Chains A and B, each alone.
Chain A
Amino acid sequence: MKERNTTSTLKRILVNCSSQAKEYGGCVAKKVPEVERDMCLKEFLALKNCMQNVCLTSVFCYIKNFSMSANASSSQLTVGLSGSGGLSHAYVQYPPLKCNLPGSRGLYYDDANKLLLSPTSDQVFSWKTVPFSPHVAATADYINEGPVLSIRYSLDAKSIAVHRSNQEIQFFQRETRETFTHMCKSESESILGFFWTDCPVCDLVVVKTSGLDLLTVSFTSKSVNLVETKKLSVNWYVYTHGSRLVLLASGMQCKTLTGFQLSSVGIVRLPRFEMVMAKSDANSKPVLAAEDVFIITVYGRIYCLQIDRVAMQLHSYRFYRDAVVQQGSLPMFSSKISVSVVDNVLLVHQVDARVSILYDIFEDSRAPISAPLPLLLRGLPQSHTGRPVNVGESLDRNSSNHELMFYGDDWTFLVPDLICDVASKSVWKIHLDLEVISSSSSEVPSNLEFLQRRKLEASKTKQLCLAITRAFILERRPVTMVAKAIDVLVSSYSHSVKTCSNLKETKVDEASASVGTNASNSSRSAKDESRVGVGDKSFNLSASDSDDQSREIDSRDLQKSGKENLLGAESSRGEVQSSSLHTQQLGLGNNQLNANNSERQDSQLTSPAISPDEMYSCVFVPVGEEIVGDPSYLVAIIVEFLRSTNSEKIKVRPNIYVFTIQLLVRYERFAELSLLIINKVLEPSKEVAMQLLESGHQNPQMRKLALDMLRQLSLHHDYVTLLVQDGCYLEALRYARKHKVTSVRPSLFLEAALASKDSQHLAAVLRFFSDFIAGFRNTPEYQDYFRILNEMNTGLAV
Chain B
Amino acid sequence: MGLASVNTASEGMQLCIFDLRRGQQEGQELDKILFFFPADLPFATQLSVIGLSEGLITFTRIFSPDAACEVIEAERHSHVFYEAESDIWMVMVVDKSKESKAACQVDALRKVLKEVHSLFVLFHGTMRSMLEKETSGGLIRSHLYPFITDYLSDFLIGRKLQLPSFHDCLMERGTVQMLTVGREAAIEVQSLVKVLECSAGTTSCYSLVLFQDLLVSTTLSPDDTISLFTYAVLRLTPHALSSGATSWSYLQRTNAGSQVPALSTITNSGSVSDNIYRSRDASLDQENNCQVKRPLHHNRWFRGNDGFLASDIWGTDNGSQTSVTPIVYLQLTEERMYLCAYQHKSLTIILLVPVSSILNGEQGLSLVKQQVLENASLKMLMVEEKLSKGWGGENAYHVSGYRYLLVDDERVSRASPPAKVMTLAKESLLALSKLREEVNLEKKRAKCSSSEVNCDKELEICVRAKNGAWVIARTSRGKELYMVLEKASETLLYAADSVEKFSNRYCSGVFSLD
A contacts, CB < 8 Å to B? 478-480, 483, 629-630, 632-633, 635-636, 639-640, 642-643, 646-647, 669, 671-672, 675-676, 679-681, 683, 700-701, 704, 707-708, 711-712, 726-728, 730-731, 734-735, 738
- Interface 9-mer from B89-97, B217-225, B280-288: B217-225
Whether, in the assembled complex, B197 has its beta carbon less than 8 Å from a beta carbon of chain A, the answer is: yes
Quick one: closest A residue to B205, CB to CB? A632
CB-CB under 8 A from B197, the residues of chain A are: 632, 636
CB-CB under 8 A from B454, the residues of chain A are: 700, 726-727
Q: Is A672 in contact with B455, judged by CB distance below 8 angstroms?
A: no
Whether, in the assembled complex, B510 has its beta carbon less than 8 Å from a beta carbon of chain A, the answer is: yes
CB-CB under 8 A from B221, the residues of chain A are: 671
Q: How far is the CB of A76 from chain B (nearest CB, A)?
A: 47
Contact A681/B513 with A633-B198, A671-B219 known, Cβ cut-off 8 Å: no
A–B Cβ pairs within 8 angstroms, 26 of them: A478-B375, A630-B204, A633-B198, A633-B203, A636-B194, A636-B197, A636-B198, A639-B190, A643-B190, A646-B184, A669-B219, A671-B219, A671-B220, A675-B190, A675-B218, A676-B186, A679-B183, A679-B186, A683-B183, A708-B510, A712-B509, A726-B454, A726-B455, A727-B454, A731-B513, A734-B513
Q: How far is the CB of B455 from chain A (nearest CB, A)?
A: 4
Bound Cα distance from A479 to B200, whole angstroms: 12
Q: How far is the CB of A674 from chain B (nearest CB, A)?
A: 9
Q: How far is the CB of B480 from chain A (nearest CB, A)?
A: 14
CB-CB under 8 A from B219, the residues of chain A are: 669, 671-672
Contact A708/B220 with A632-B197, A642-B187, A735-B513 known, Cβ cut-off 8 Å: no
- Contacting residue for A643 out of B187, B375, B476, CB 8 A: B187
Bound Cα distance from A213 to B194, whole angstroms: 67
Against A, the Cβ 8 Å flags (1 = close, 0 = not) of B185-210 are 01111110011011100011000000
CB-CB under 8 A from A646, the residues of chain B are: 183-184, 187
- Contacting residue for B514 out of A630, A701, A738, CB 8 A: A738
Q: Is A704 in contact with B477, judged by CB distance below 8 angstroms?
A: yes
Bound Cα distance from A680 to B184, whole angstroms: 9
CB-CB under 8 A from B409, the residues of chain A are: 701, 704
Bound Cα distance from A711 to B477, whole angstroms: 13
Contact A727/B455 with A483-B191, A738-B514 known, Cβ cut-off 8 Å: yes
Q: How far is the CB of B42 from chain A (nearest CB, A)?
A: 48
Q: Is A675 in contact with B217, judged by CB distance below 8 angstroms?
A: yes
Q: Is A632 in contact with B203, judged by CB distance below 8 angstroms?
A: yes
Contact A640/B191 with A630-B203, A727-B453, A738-B513 known, Cβ cut-off 8 Å: yes
Bound Cα distance from A704 to B479, whole angstroms: 11
Whether, in the assembled complex, B134 has its beta carbon less than 8 Å from a beta carbon of chain A, the answer is: no
Bound Cα distance from A478 to B196, whole angstroms: 11
Q: Is B375 in contact with A480, judged by CB distance below 8 angstroms?
A: yes
Q: How far is the CB of B335 from chain A (nearest CB, A)?
A: 15
Identify the interface centre among A632, A680, A701, A738: most chain B CB within 10 Å of its CB: A632
Q: How far is the CB of B391 from chain A (nearest CB, A)?
A: 15
Whether, in the assembled complex, B181 has its beta carbon less than 8 Å from a beta carbon of chain A, the answer is: yes
Contact A734/B195 with A671-B221, A681-B183, A727-B453 known, Cβ cut-off 8 Å: no
Q: Is B181 in contact with A629, judged by CB distance below 8 angstroms?
A: no
Whether, in the assembled complex, B478 has its beta carbon less than 8 Å from a beta carbon of chain A, the answer is: yes
Q: Is A643 in contact with B191, judged by CB distance below 8 angstroms?
A: yes
Q: Is B218 in contact with A671, judged by CB distance below 8 angstroms?
A: yes
List 20 additional contacts besides A642-B187, A643-B190, A712-B508; criterion CB under 8 Å.
A478-B375, A479-B194, A630-B204, A632-B198, A636-B194, A636-B195, A636-B197, A639-B194, A640-B194, A671-B218, A672-B219, A676-B186, A679-B181, A679-B190, A681-B187, A700-B454, A704-B477, A711-B509, A731-B455, A731-B476
Bound Cα distance from A680 to B199, whole angstroms: 25
Whether, in the assembled complex, B497 has its beta carbon less than 8 Å from a beta carbon of chain A, the answer is: no
Q: How far is the CB of B211 from chain A (nearest CB, A)?
A: 13
CB-CB under 8 A from A683, the residues of chain B are: 183
Whether, in the assembled complex, B85 has its beta carbon less than 8 Å from a beta carbon of chain A, the answer is: no
Contact A704/B478 with A483-B191, A642-B187 known, Cβ cut-off 8 Å: yes
Within 8 A of A (CB), among B80-129: none
Bound Cα distance from A726 to B455, whole angstroms: 7
Identify the interface centre among B181, B186, B510: most chain A CB within 10 Å of its CB: B186
Bound Cα distance from A708 to B479, whole angstroms: 12
Q: How far is the CB of A394 from chain B (nearest CB, A)?
A: 59
Bound Cα distance from A679 to B217, whole angstroms: 10
Contact A643/B188 with A636-B198, A671-B220, A731-B458 known, Cβ cut-off 8 Å: yes
CB-CB under 8 A from A643, the residues of chain B are: 187-188, 190-191
CB-CB under 8 A from A711, the residues of chain B are: 508-509
Q: Is A681 in contact with B195, judged by CB distance below 8 angstroms?
A: no
Q: Is B194 in contact with A629, judged by CB distance below 8 angstroms?
A: no
CB-CB under 8 A from A635, the residues of chain B are: 194
Bound Cα distance from A672 to B225, whole angstroms: 12
Q: How far is the CB of A129 from chain B (nearest CB, A)?
A: 49
Bound Cα distance from A681 to B221, whole angstroms: 20
CB-CB under 8 A from A712, the residues of chain B are: 508-509
Bound Cα distance from A139 to B38, whole angstroms: 110
Bound Cα distance from A611 to B367, whole angstroms: 39
Q: Is A681 in contact with B190, judged by CB distance below 8 angstroms?
A: yes
Q: How far is the CB of A637 from chain B (nearest CB, A)?
A: 8
Within 8 A of A (CB), among B481-514: 508-510, 513-514
CB-CB under 8 A from B183, the residues of chain A are: 646, 679-681, 683
Q: How far is the CB of B219 from chain A (nearest CB, A)?
A: 5
- Contacting residue for B186 out of A647, A680, A704, CB 8 A: A680
Within 8 A of A (CB), among B347-391: 375
CB-CB under 8 A from B220, the residues of chain A are: 671
CB-CB under 8 A from A629, the residues of chain B are: 203
Quick one: closest A residue to B513, CB to CB? A734
Bound Cα distance from A728 to B450, whole angstroms: 13
CB-CB under 8 A from B191, the residues of chain A are: 483, 636, 639-640, 643
CB-CB under 8 A from B186, the residues of chain A are: 675-676, 679-681
Quick one: closest B residue to A645, CB to CB? B187
Bound Cα distance from A680 to B186, whole angstroms: 8
Bound Cα distance from A671 to B207, whole angstroms: 11
Q: How far is the CB of B447 from chain A (nearest CB, A)?
A: 14
Bound Cα distance from A132 to B513, whole angstroms: 71
CB-CB under 8 A from A701, the residues of chain B are: 409
CB-CB under 8 A from B222, the residues of chain A are: 671
Q: How far is the CB of A624 from chain B (nearest CB, A)?
A: 16
Quick one: closest B residue to A737, CB to CB? B514
Top 9 closest pairs, chain A to chain B, by CB: A636-B194, A679-B186, A630-B203, A728-B455, A643-B187, A639-B190, A479-B198, A680-B183, A734-B513
Quick one: closest A residue to B204, CB to CB? A630
Identify the interface centre among A647, A675, A707, A734: most chain B CB within 10 Å of its CB: A675
CB-CB under 8 A from A680, the residues of chain B are: 183, 186
Quick one: closest B residue to A483, CB to CB? B191
Bound Cα distance from A679 to B187, whole angstroms: 8
CB-CB under 8 A from A676, the residues of chain B are: 186, 190
Bound Cα distance from A676 to B204, whole angstroms: 19
- Contacting residue for A639 out of B187, B218, B514, CB 8 A: B187
Bound Cα distance from A666 to B146, whole angstroms: 43
